[in-house]
Chains A and B, each alone.
Chain A
């Protein structure tokens, strides 16, 4: 099973190439699947677009304009060819290139997700580590309690309650749409609180596990100062799976955008995906799902690479697919 040879670097290169190839297959398969779904979905986007009173001729004309009079496989081949040249198609609803639409909205999604991710790392991980170190004590129970509470909360309800308290009652922040930096605060909090809970949970579990390892017992037995044992022995190793988890959850967080952006009427990718599904604006749906698929594959590979870089025990070449 285990192949020998080459340095760690070349093994990693081989591994990455292989994963990228598999990833490319997935990235093509996912939108193909979505394309098939859309062929099977009842309802016709053109009829939606033309309105109820449109004549047969008008609908036929629209279909010709959008290339929808051709058989499905021709449409699919067109879409694939366009994708290879960087053309993601043309939105039925917005009547403009999908790439433009997404470009304008990507920024707004990043503005919410990036700070939320940073917050969940900066606040969540230390909370989890403290809970693990004080296992069973009051502080651990308190952190666990609060974390489980936020973990059990639907994000859209959290968003509504934050709106209600800080937007309507206290009037500190605008409740929806975008009007300046302040309007990003509530959506970011809605993202961040459950993410903080998730990363605190993971950090606690990993830290507890590392603390029972033999090498930690050895470190204590050697008489190393507790600061050194905890920081450079335990924490370093506990952080590896936590970091990997971050990469694995990145696509999930983008998925959460569908709900949070809809609640806050935030003009990002998530609300665009939601509206496009409702309006059967297939080119947009396909493009966003394609982007999420690419992101998912990349994050998975990055997670593996980072784990291998941080942990000398993990050798990527052993992971045969």
Chain B
């Protein structure tokens, strides 16, 4: 753990809260100081939840520390039971409370509450939020799920959706409908919307759909071993992955694969001529491992973009993401430090970022368009409209969301044609950004001896050795290139010049480079 301004994941007890908040009839007694109660607002504000998370904090203060914090825990646990009458309770300590070593689990056991009390032992200083959610759901499942008779009709459980998940709400709806088309009922969706009683009957399903390995894999593995429930490995995000997923379901159940494609527009939209301009757009991907892996396949195979870099912040996914990066021929970036991510993006100068809310901020700063594909989430990631990532509608939604931040195909030509016009000149902001604010320095102004710190290729220039000089005529010519590709043109020209051992860039060099990189 280290102090930082932004973080991709919270401590593990926030993961436990994501599980508790997603469920019903479950209460979480959390040994935590007064300040930790602020975690509530993640759910009530970001997700606009209209109920408080079912969490009772012991809220010990500095003056309690010399006295009996353990007794404080027991009082809080008893009061929480009396007030909320939950079907089951989970107990644990926050990162701060872990230090005082009161053993909430042990204490709760001695209290003799008439409901199942599940102790969570979450190592706050080694692990993080996703682990906390995965482990919490696993412990709940292990404590409550029992072997039971299978449903007469083929059914599955949808596993892994939690509070504060990226589009979990809508993914559940999409998958439920898609599986129903194939003749598969949903037995239980968990943790999202499940009660402890629902957890007890998880075993009645014929198989599990592991929606989000980050938050559901440990429970799925346990159910496979203890309850004999196989689980799906494909995460159905993207058209190809959705087809693979249904094939997997067909393999498990013996049912014929059926997919209603009447609403599927993504493949035609990607093939239609307006999308030609998407070809080879250089995209950088970052987020949780699952969403990045799914998005990489869509980027390359379904949108015709080029993956120029990818990575994840959850180190549980480091191995598959490294393998994936190798397959795509790029360097993997496994880090939970947003400054490293920012540096990588700056160095690669992609034309688009698919990332989390952190990358959206980075993109804003660097002037690179960004669409969000993964948690951590922001209030805007809980849209009022139906907006899944999975299945048919998910593919449609992603096409729209990924294309909208880009400058459109014909717009590129028009901007080029009218670049001298007062509305479109370099200093005018993008029209869809309201015009008034922000100058276009995406590609940076024409090369200046002293490049501004925001200038992407200026830094690249230094990296090369800072020896390449732009002649004045070449600078003027570079300015004629539209702002949104100018950065790339300059970078390409500079690396071309370096490669050829040319120290001065003339108009000639500029066009030599253009021909060299023509595709």
Do A and B bind?
A: no
Interface residues of A (CB under 8 A from B): none
